[in-house]
A and B are shown apart, each in its own frame.
Chain A
Amino acid sequence: MFELKPMLSALWRNKVSAMLIALQIALTLAIVSNAVTIIQERQEKIARPTGIDVENLIAVTFMPVPADYDMAGAVAADLDLMRSMPGVVDASVTNQAPISGSGSASGYFFEPNQEVGDITANYYQTDPHFINTLGLKLTAGRNFREDEMDILGPHQNYNADVAIITQQFADQAFPGESALGKYLYGGRDDHPTQIIGIVERHIGAWPGWSLAGNVVFYPVMAEGNHKRYLVRTEPGQRDEIFKQLEDKLAERDPQRVIHLETTENHMKETYSSDNLMIKVLTLVVSLLTFIVALGIVGLTIFWINQRAKQIGIRRALGASRRNISRYFLLENSIIAITGLVLGGTAAMLINGLIASNFSQPLLSLPMLITCALVLLLVSLLAALVPALRAANISPAMATRSV
């Protein structure tokens, strides 16, 4: 009923052109399905919850100019100043800024004097205000008390008595039981650090790290040659506070170099290569689809011109306009489906190669089928305009110039 036999024999006469279109569709499916899989993976990576109030945080770093500098005094005065600023929710001292790509990590053991079997976690040295400053959610236990806060001189070794950890780290460290009240140890060390609180989640300093989300917080300020603060502002006030902050801090103590960065900006920089990948691949996918569509349009027009006489004859012999359009759409579908079957196989092969060699995500079957259906639709749409035009060829064509 679909005139398949004459269609196939007509295709056979144009086999090279038909094969070239099928080949384009095949290559396109192979590239597009893999590209979309990578795009999706990166988007999911960027969308992971950070556990903190990213939009309203500012990270401040400062380095004193004079050689002998009262770091502890300066930090206390700065924190008082910042916490009293209108529009500031809270401020904390810290050793690292969240999602900045720069920070510290340590291996943790769960029994004293161990050498193997540690789990690594990113750690903050901060103060009791950190939960409120970062916007974390304490799900069990309690926050640090002011009297638990330690101040370390340069190069002094730190033995923490208490720590707060993320739920993710708690689950890894003590699977199947509550981590609250249990102890952490350093390697070859018997000093216990009691876990007094658990926060819901925080992604830490390096979102790209395989263990991102394992985070430990300590109540301590170590004096070094530079210090960091985190400042959380009321929603919508960040940019205003950002402008005031450097001046206010410099006014209180001009003998230092101050650098400010928003956490939003840190996040943008941390994910810049993922964002670049997403944008480049999106461009590739759209250009490729466009070029294939153009190719199909061009070739269908050419075939129709070539067969104008035959179309006229068919129309003169009683074929309706719909018959003619349907003929070209069906012909196009046969080519497209051949290409998609070839392309699906190629996509799987290519995915196997890039997944094992270039650590890219695996292509799922539903994704492949979705991409194939979209491409089929695109090829039908591309063939539609020329096919409708073909239907307008008048039966009189058949009578001319033969």
Chain B
Amino acid sequence: MIGYYISLALRSLRGTPILSALMIAAIAVGVGASMTVLTVNYMTSKNPLVDKDDQLYAVQLDGWDPNEAYNRGAKGNQMPWQLTYRDATALLRSDIPKRQVAMHKFGFTVSVDDAEVRPFVAVTRVTTRDFFALFDAPFQYGGTWEKSADESPKQVVVLSQATNEKLFGDKNSVGEVIQLNGEAFTVIGVLKEWNPSPKVYDLNNGHFQDSEELYIPFGLHRKFEIHSWGNNNGWNSDIAKGLTGYEAHLHSESVWIQYWVELENGAQKREYEEFLANHIRQQKEQGRFQRPLKFALSRPSEWLVMNEVLDHDSRVLAWCALAFLLVCVVNAIALLLAKFLRKAPEAGVRRALGASRQSIFVQHLMESSCIGVLGGIAGIGLALLGLTGVRVLAGGGFDRVAHMDWAMVFAAIGLAIVASLLAGLYPAWRISQTNPSIYLKTQ
């Protein structure tokens, strides 16, 4: 019976080609527009660390200006996003977390003896050794450095897959030597392709930036007088007693180090919270941390929300797209109603010949489902077109986000069918209420 209804529906659609095309177009445009925006938002709000969401925490300490709370960019929890170098090195001494990472962004010029590769600038992450294990960055060759390299200078480097390809044509380069700012560094590891999106571990300079091209140990700061290439915020220009130059920078109240810990369970988390509170109390005795005692441990999912990775514009566009779909559905209801009512005499005859209200209802619902499926398929096409448009319009900023995965393709088809069933429900019900006698009389 369903097969028969479908063939009836297709015949009826062909009977009124313009009206049918209008309805399919309305559903397609509504689905296409809303799926474009919803896909971008869905990909934007993905959490690449979802598997470890209950174990990883971004650490914040409130050692800001006693006169005013931290409020740069008017988002977040009124605490600095990053730590001072002093606090970061103090926290690194704790052995409570399973793993912990102190890090920031930097940049080097890279050159190799091979004259064919021109020197280039590589964005670099200066980090402690646990970075790769904590954020699940997989190694292709070699591995991370030993713990001592996080405290004393050791000129070793881990390359990203792309950098290795550029410098050594993708072969195992462990043991090779490259020049960073003219100094020799030995390659000890090469990552596999790894680009978490959004870049949850460092959201300061754009949410969808590529991962770094090089990774070097945290123990190199003093030797190379490394400053952050990411954000650097300060409130107190007082320089620690007797210190000048780079040492003064390391001891200043400037925040520029990002800090993450991996805590295995609630007990470990409570122990670490106690440790952080004690650290602040100790610093208070030395005259630092004059604000009320406050720190925060945020899961990756919370960190993404606090950083407003899904920004206000995206949310407005999502609502706008859903309202747009609603208009398209209302439009389809009106057109379907018009169409079905015109065929009321046919329905009247069927009823008179013994069809139940229910079968009239199902028959017409099948017709609106056909419109939904056709509209949905066209809508997915429009959404793919829309996503290409977004990639072009955003000029590269959205390349990783404006893509549809299988979940979103199924969501698009589902949305189209739900939309067209919603659109078809009332008109089908209305036609099934047809009183056969009226139409029999006038024939």
Binding site for B on A (CB under 8 A): 16-17, 20-21, 23-24, 27-28, 30-31, 35, 38, 63-68, 107, 115-116, 154-157, 186-189, 210, 224-226, 256-257, 259, 268-269, 272-273, 275-277, 279-281, 283-284, 287-288, 291-292, 294-295, 298-299, 302, 305-306, 354, 357-360
Contacts and interface: CB of A to CB of B under 8 A. Distances in A.
Nearest to B66: A115
Interface string B234-252: 0111110000111011000
Nearest to A154: B225
Contacts of A189: 237
A116 B320 CA distance: 43
A188 B334 contact: no
Contacts, number: 155
Interface stretch (B81-89, B352-360, B388-396): B388-396
12 contacts: A20-B337, A63-B121, A115-B67, A154-B246, A188-B236, A210-B74, A225-B227, A259-B121, A276-B394, A280-B393, A284-B324, A359-B312
B220 interface: no
B337 A16 contact: yes
Contacts of B235: 107, 187
B133 to A, nearest CB: 30
A400 B120 CA distance: 86
Given A279-B393, A358-B316, A360-B312, A116 B68 contact: yes
B146 interface: no
Interface in B12-30: 19, 22, 25-26, 29
A305 B338 CA distance: 11
B393 A31 contact: no
A40 B26 CA distance: 27
8 pairs of A and B residues whose beta carbons are closest in the complex: A67-B182, A302-B338, A358-B312, A20-B334, A155-B245, A295-B331, A66-B182, A116-B67
B330 interface: yes
A39 B67 CA distance: 39
A273 B236 contact: no
A298 B338 contact: yes
Nearest to A31: B323
Contacts of B312: 357-360
A23 B423 CA distance: 14
A27 B394 contact: no
A27 B237 contact: no
B179 interface: yes
Which range contains the number of B residues in contact with the other chain? 35 or more
Contacts of B323: 27, 30-31
Interface in B206-262: 225, 227, 235-239, 244-246, 248-249
B228 to A, nearest CB: 12
A378 to B, nearest CB: 14
Nearest to A38: B316
B315 interface: yes
Contacts of B330: 20, 23-24, 27
Contacts of A360: 312, 316
B19 A272 contact: no
B320 A284 contact: yes
B313 interface: yes
B273 interface: no
A54 B120 CA distance: 28
Q: Main SS of chain B's interface residues? A: helix
Contacts of B227: 224-225
Given A16-B337, A65-B182, A358-B312, A291 B327 contact: yes
Given A28-B327, A292-B331, A294-B22, A273 B313 contact: yes
Interface in B306-361: 312-313, 315-317, 319-321, 323-324, 326-328, 330-331, 333-335, 337-339, 341-342
Nearest to A153: B245
A155 B239 contact: no
Contacts of A24: 327, 330-331, 334
A302 B335 CA distance: 9
B19 A291 contact: no
Nearest to B121: A257
Contacts of B121: 63, 257, 259
B342 A63 contact: no
B397 interface: yes
Given A24-B331, A299-B335, A31 B320 contact: yes
Contacts of A281: 317, 320
A292 B327 contact: yes
A67 B120 contact: no
Given A21-B334, A299-B335, A288 B316 contact: no
B119 interface: yes
B428 to A, nearest CB: 13
A187 B237 contact: yes
A17 B327 contact: no
A66 B324 CA distance: 58
A291 B329 CA distance: 11
B431 interface: no
A360 B314 CA distance: 12
B331 A187 contact: no
B327 A27 contact: yes
B196 interface: no
Contact of A17 (B182, B334, B390): B334
B342 to A, nearest CB: 7
Contacts of B315: 358
A35 B320 contact: yes
Contacts of B152: none
Given A27-B326, A65-B119, A155 B248 contact: yes
Given A279-B393, A360-B312, A257 B120 contact: yes
B395 A188 contact: no
Nearest to A25: B327
B128 interface: no
B68, B119, B248: most-surrounded residue (chain A CB, <10 A): B119
B151 interface: no
Contact of B335 (A116, A156, A298): A298
A257 B341 CA distance: 73
A381 to B, nearest CB: 17
B393 A275 contact: yes
B334 A287 contact: no
A85 B34 CA distance: 53
B164 interface: no
Nearest to A268: B395
Contacts of A292: 327, 331
A272 B245 contact: no
B395 A299 contact: no
Given A16-B426, A116-B67, A259-B121, 13 more contacts: A20-B334, A24-B327, A24-B331, A31-B327, A35-B320, A63-B109, A115-B67, A187-B236, A272-B397, A280-B317, A291-B328, A292-B327, A302-B338
B107 A291 contact: no
